[in-house]
Structure 1
Amino acid sequence: MADDEDEGEGGLYEEGHWIWDENANQITFISDRPVFEDEAIQMPTKVPTGAIEFKDDVDLIEQLRYRRRYQRKLKPEQPDIVTVQDCKDLALYTAPVAIQSPALINMLHIPTTDRFIKALILCCQYYLQLCSQVSDEMAQRMLDLETRVRTPYCDVVEREFGINLNDLRVLVAKEYCTMLIGGADTKKYHHMGPAKKRRSLSDKDARLFETLLRMCVQIVWLALGRKAFNQIELEVNRLFKSEIFNAVEHTLKTKYVEKMSREERNVLLGECVRTDKKLTTKSPMMNEVFCHRDIDYRMMGIGVIKMKQMPSRLKYIHNLVAGPEERYAELGVSLGIVGLPRSNFDTMLKPLPTAEDHNKYIFCFRGSLVSSISAKSSSSVKKSGTACAQPKLYADIHLPLKSEHDDTFPSSFPSEPEPPTPCNDTQRRRWLKRLQRLRRGQRASTVVKRL
Structure 2
Amino acid sequence: MKRIHVESSAPKYQSGKWSWDKKHESLHFEQHFDLEDANERYIDTNGYKFLRTLNQEEELIFRQVFVRPNTSYDPDTVVINDVRNLVFFLMPKQFLSMNFIEFMHKPSVHRLLHALIIYFDYFLRLVEFVLIRRDEIAGNMAQMQSEQTNEMKRIWSSYLSQYRMLTARNYCAILMGAGDMKKYYHTKEIVNISSTIKDRYFHEQFLAVATQIVWISNHRRAYYVIEMEMNRLFRSDYFILNRKEYPTFTPAEKSLLYGRNNKLVNYRFQSSPLIQELKNVADHDMPILWIGERKYRGSDPRIAELELEYMVPGPQLRMIDIAHGILGHPRLLYNTLLSLDWPSVRYHNFSSAHDPYYIIRQPSLRIPNIDEAEVRKMSRNLEHYYKVFRIYESARRNILLNWSNREKIKKYYLSGGVLRNITMRCEKQLEDDEDRPEVSEIVSDFLDMMARLRKKKIPLMGDATTAEATRPSNSQYVKIGAEYFFIEPDERRGRLVVPI
TM-score, normalised to structure 1, is 0.70
- Partner Cα separation in structure 2 for residue 400 and residue 100 of structure 1: 46
Q: 1:409 Cα deviation (Å)?
A: 4.2
Q: How does 1:317-336 map to 2 (within 5 A)?
A: 317-336=306-325
Q: Which residue in the other structure is 2:395 paired with?
A: 425
Decide which structure has greater strand share.
2
- Partner Cα separation in structure 1 for residue 206 and residue 306 of structure 2: 24
Specify whether residues 49 and 291 from structure 1 end up closer, same or farther in structure 2 by C-alpha distance, changes over 3 A only: same
Q: 1:429 Cα deviation (Å)?
A: 4.2
- Partner Cα separation in structure 1 for residue 368 and residue 147 of structure 2: 22
Q: 1:63 Cα deviation (Å)?
A: 1.0
- Report how many residues are paired: 359
Q: Which residue in the other structure is 1:74 paired with?
A: 70
For the 8 Å contact 2:264–2:270, the answer to whether it is kept is yes
Q: Check if 1:303 corresponds to 2:292.
A: yes
Q: How does 1:106-145 map to 2 (within 5 A)?
A: 106-143=102-139
Q: 2:183 aligns with which of 179, 188, 207?
A: 188
Q: 1:186 Cα deviation (Å)?
A: 1.4
- Counterpart of 2:236 in structure 1: which amino acid? S
Q: How does 1:268-287 map to 2 (within 5 A)?
A: 268-287=257-276
Q: String of CA shifts for 1:378-417, please: whole Å, max 9, x gaps.
A: xxxxxxxxxxxx97586346497757367544454x4864
Q: Which residue in the other structure is 2:328 paired with?
A: 339
Q: String of CA shifts for 1:4-25, please: whole Å, max 9, x gaps.
A: xxxxxxxxxxxxxxxxxxxxxx
For the 8 Å contact 2:136–2:142, the answer to whether it is kept is no
Q: How does 1:328-407 map to 2 (within 5 A)?
A: 328-354=317-343, 395-396=363-364, 398=366, 404=375, 407=378
TM-score, normalised to structure 2, is 0.64
Between 291-300 and 399-408, the greater mean CA deviation after superposition: 399-408
- Partner Cα separation in structure 1 for residue 250 and residue 70 of structure 2: 48
Q: 1:222 aligns with which of 191, 199, 216?
A: 216
Report the RMSD for the aligned CA atoms in angstroms.
3.4
Task: Say which structure, 1 or 2, has more relative contact order (CA 8 Å, 6+ apart).
Answer: 1
Aligned-residue identity in percent: 23
Q: How does 1:14-93 map to 2 (within 5 A)?
A: 51-75=47-71, 78=74, 80-93=76-89
Q: Which residue in the other structure is 1:101 paired with?
A: 97
- Counterpart of 1:298 in structure 2: which amino acid? P
Q: 2:197 aligns with which of 182, 203, 209?
A: 203
Q: Which residue in the other structure is 2:404 paired with?
A: 435
For the 8 Å contact 1:190–1:196, the answer to whether it is kept is no
Q: Which residue in the other structure is 1:244 paired with?
A: 238
Q: 1:294 Cα deviation (Å)?
A: 5.3
Q: Check if 1:162 corresponds to 2:157.
A: yes
- Counterpart of 1:344 in structure 2: which amino acid? L
Q: Which residue in the other structure is 1:256 paired with?
A: 247
- Counterpart of 2:247 in structure 1: which amino acid? Y
- Partner Cα separation in structure 1 for residue 119 and residue 202 of structure 2: 22
For the 8 Å contact 1:344–1:352, the answer to whether it is kept is yes
For the 8 Å contact 1:312–1:400, the answer to whether it is kept is no
Stretches of structure 2 lacking an aligned partner (at least 5 in a row)? 7-43, 348-357, 412-500
- Counterpart of 2:341 in structure 1: which amino acid? L
